[in-house]
Structure formats: structure tokens, C-alpha cells
Amino acid sequence: MPSILEEYREIPAQARLLIYLSFIPSIVIGFIYTDLSYFLPKVQGLSNLWMGVTIGVMAGTLVATSLPLGIVADRYGRRKMLILGNTAASLSLIGFALTSNLVLILLVAIIEGIGEASFAVSVNAMLADKAGNQYRTVAFSLSAFVGWIAWALGGFAVSSVVALQAFGLSVAQAHITLFLIIGLLGLSITPLVLKIEETQTDALRIQKATRGILPRKSARVLIKYTICSIIVALGAGLFVPLMANWFSHAYDVTDTISGPVLGFSSILTAVAVFLSPRLAKKFGMVRAIVLSQGLSTIFMVLVPSSPNFGTAASIYTVRVFLMNLSNPLSQSMIMGLVAPEERGMASGISAALWRLPNALSTTVAAYWIGLGLLALPFYVATVLYVSAISTFWVFFKNTRLPEEVVKPVQPQATSTQDEPTIVTGK
């Protein structure tokens, strides 16, 4: 068995390039979701309710645009959607920094949602295409590693507010300046995405793309996957986008403290996902996902009963570590089970049906937190997570991906672009 580093070095060059180019856009998204729930009420003066609505609008826009953008990506090229995604997300940071007008903030939220949708429907589908079945899981693991490091830097970047204040800026001015800097940094990477090649394989896939609004070949597996995803999304939306705000209400800490803590949890997660392929090989893809998500739920329910910020942050970090260990595995799994020509559309549906319930529960939880019901989001989320994990196990416990099937015949050379199939074990 090759070493972990050897496995990562064998990832095809175009797949590795795509992963590395996603680093800066991931910093942008990480910064948005680390600090926006603090920035809007504390700097721009929105109420907690309108902050939740703004995040909900971002998610609602993603929901509304994911499927049509996924169809466009499959039919006309996924690189175009990747460029649109990075540009829109970066511009949204600049927009949030430059206005405190509620109407304009909601407009910027729409732009951010379009950016997230464009990124969601393109990056995973492109990565699965470029990596092929043989290297798909290790490619998604490396992508998750890079993404979590970038997300962590987005969290750590919040502490730069203190450094900016040393130049005579007020707290509000320092926050606004930081939003502008990171937004411009995100825009700077857009021209480099053109280095991702549109190949003959991509052209063939475009010709075969489904001429409809639903992925006909992959409908059955996608329905099962999204049912589980919807339940998890409802739970995650109750606390994940709101942690900086929750820490502020629960322990009276500012984002300059909670931001780096959340960033540190991302660093630990990056280390964990680097080992995800070995976890999948040891237990199998489905069992590895269920194991990591189940353990994370135990730690999640302990967060609201923590006596102080340090304890709560430590427990939450372990929860993040365990839950997101399964992320590259679940992403690789669904991209391995759907038809290659329907991956953009499938990504769009998955993203939409994740963010819609996520947005609704975020808005509700923001209201709960404002009322001082700080434990309620975590307890409701626990019930939802247990339901989702149990349902996922029932649906997929006998599912094997192409690369997990042991063939009794002599091995034959296969293309890394083989279409995936679902093999059911006994």
C-alpha cells in the first residue's frame, strides 16, 4: 500500500491545480461565515433578527440559483461557473463593508448567494472529472485539507482588526478595512482560474449532459442522499453560521477572540481530513461517514452546558474535528455515484437542498439566541443529527463505490474517467 503522501502526489496535475486555486476563494468564504454574524450587528448596526435574515437571503439565493447554474455548468462548461463564483463572493465582501443600508445589504447577500451557488455547482464536479475514480477520494481529501486551512486563515484574519487599530483606525473602520482587503484578495485570483483546461473529455461530457431540469440517470441515489442532507442541514443551520454570535451572547467574548478559536478548529479539521482516505479504506466509505458523524454529535450536545468559554470552545473544536472528517468522504461518495455528465446538476441540487433548510433554521436560531435561549439550538440539532445519521445508514449501508469493489477476475487497465455504478453488497 503506498504511503499517504505518495497517494496525494499521484493525483492528476489538473486536479491538484484546481485544489490549489481554490485556496483563496476558501479564505473568502471562511471569513464570511466566521465573522459576518458578528460584523452585521456589531459594526453595521443590524438587529440580530435582520442579521439572521441576511444570512438566510444568502442561502435562499443559493437555493434558487443552484439548479439552473448547475444545468448551465454541465452544458456550457464548469470553469465559467467557477470564475463567476469567486468574483461574486469576493465582491460581496466589499459590498458588506461599504454599506449599512438594509436594502443594499440584502442585495449584497443575493450576490454572495449567487457566488456560493456558482462555486458549489462547479468545483466538486470539476474535481471529480479531473481526478477520476482512482484518485477521487484522495483528491477530495486534499481539497478538504486545503479548504480547511484556508477557512482557518479566514477565522484568524479577524484578529487583524487589532493590528489595523494600531494605525489609528476605530474598531468599525478596522473591520471595514479588513473586509475590503480580503474581498480584493479574492478578486485577484480570478484570472488564474483560466489555467484550468477545458479538455476533450469535458467536451464529450457536455455533449452527453442531460437535456432537462433533473438528473435522470442519478435520480434515485440523489434523492436518498439529499433526504439525509436536508436533515443535517436543518441541524447545522441552528448553530454553525452563528457561533461567533453565540459565543458573544453566552460568554461575552468578541470576534477577535472567538474568530481565532474557530480558525484553530479548522486547522485541526484540516489535519483530520488529510487522513480521511485511510479511514474510508479501513472501515468502508459509508461506515467511516457514520462513525465520524455519530461521535461528533455526542460532543455537540455538550457545548451549551459548558461552564466557560474555554471549555465550550474546546468541546466545539472536537465536534468540528469529528463532523468534518466525513466531509470529503461524503462529497467523494455522491460524485462517485452519479453519472459524470450530471455531476454539475447533482451538485446544484445537493447545494440547494442543503442551504434551504439551513437558511430557515439559521434565521430561527438567530431569533432564539436573541431571546437568550442559548441551549435550544444545540438540543434541537442533536435530535436532527441522530435522525439523519440513522437514515443515511439505512439507505447506504450496503452501497459500495466502484473503487471499493473487489473483482475476482484478473485486473485490467481502466480509465480514471469510468462512469460510476452502485454495487450493493449482501
Q: Choose from 58-67, 104-113, 341-350, 392-401 the range with maximum mean pLDDT.
A: 104-113
Type of residue numbered 80: K
Cα–Cα distances in Å, from 7 out to 135, 279, 413?
A: 8, 14, 18
pLDDT digits (tens, 9 = 90+) for 233-266: 999 999 988 888 899 899 998 877 887 777 777 7
Q: Which of 30-34, 339-343, 374-378 has the lowest mean pLDDT?
A: 339-343
Query: Is 226 among the domain residues?
Result: yes
pLDDT at residue number 315: 93
The reply to whether 133 falls in a domain is yes
152 has pLDDT over 80? no
Specify the number of domains making up the chain: 1
Tell me the mean pLDDT in the region 87-105.
93
Examine residue 205 and state whether it is found in any structural domain, yes or no.
Answer: no
Mean pLDDT of 145-169: 84
d(CA 354, CA 357): 6
Q: Please give the pLDDT value at position 415.
A: 36
Of 53-67, 210-224, 313-327, 381-395, which range is least confident?
210-224
Long-range contacts of 239-243 (CB under 8 A, 24+ apart): 239/303, 239/365, 239/377, 239/378, 239/381, 240/33, 241/33, 241/36, 241/37, 241/55, 241/358, 241/362, 242/37, 242/52, 242/362, 242/365, 242/366, 242/369, 242/377, 243/37, 243/316
Phi/psi for 140 (5° steps) reads -65, -35
Within-domain flag for 164: yes
Residues 6+ apart with CB under 8 A from 404: 284, 285, 423
Residue 386 lies in a domain: yes
Per-residue model confidence (pLDDT) at position 3: 60
Structural domain for 16, as ranges: 10-193+215-403
Let me know if residue 394 belongs to a domain: yes
Task: For residue 127, tell me if it sits in a domain.
Answer: yes
Q: Long-range pairs for 101-107 at CB < 8 Å and ≥24 separation?
A: 102/46, 102/50, 105/40, 105/44, 105/46, 105/54, 106/53, 106/54, 106/57
Is it the case that residue 203 has pLDDT exceeding 60?
no
CATH number at residue 133: 1.20.1250.20
The predicted model gives 346-370 an average pLDDT of: 81
- Who wins on pLDDT, 84 or 154? 84
User: Which pLDDT does position 392 carry in this prediction?
Assistant: 95
Record the pTM. Answer: 0.69
Residue 379 lies in a domain: yes
Mean pLDDT of the chain: 82
Q: What average pLDDT does this structure show over 124-148?
A: 84
Residue 327 predicted with pLDDT over 90: no
Which string of b and e fits 370-387 if b means at least 16 CB within 10 Å? beeebebbbebbbebbbe
Looking up cell 465573522, which residue turns up?
Answer: 35
The pLDDT of 119-134, averaged and rounded, is: 82
The answer, yes or no, to whether residue 286 has pLDDT greater than 80, is yes
pLDDT at 254: 83
What is the pLDDT averaged over residues 188-208?
A: 67
Strand partners, 423: 400
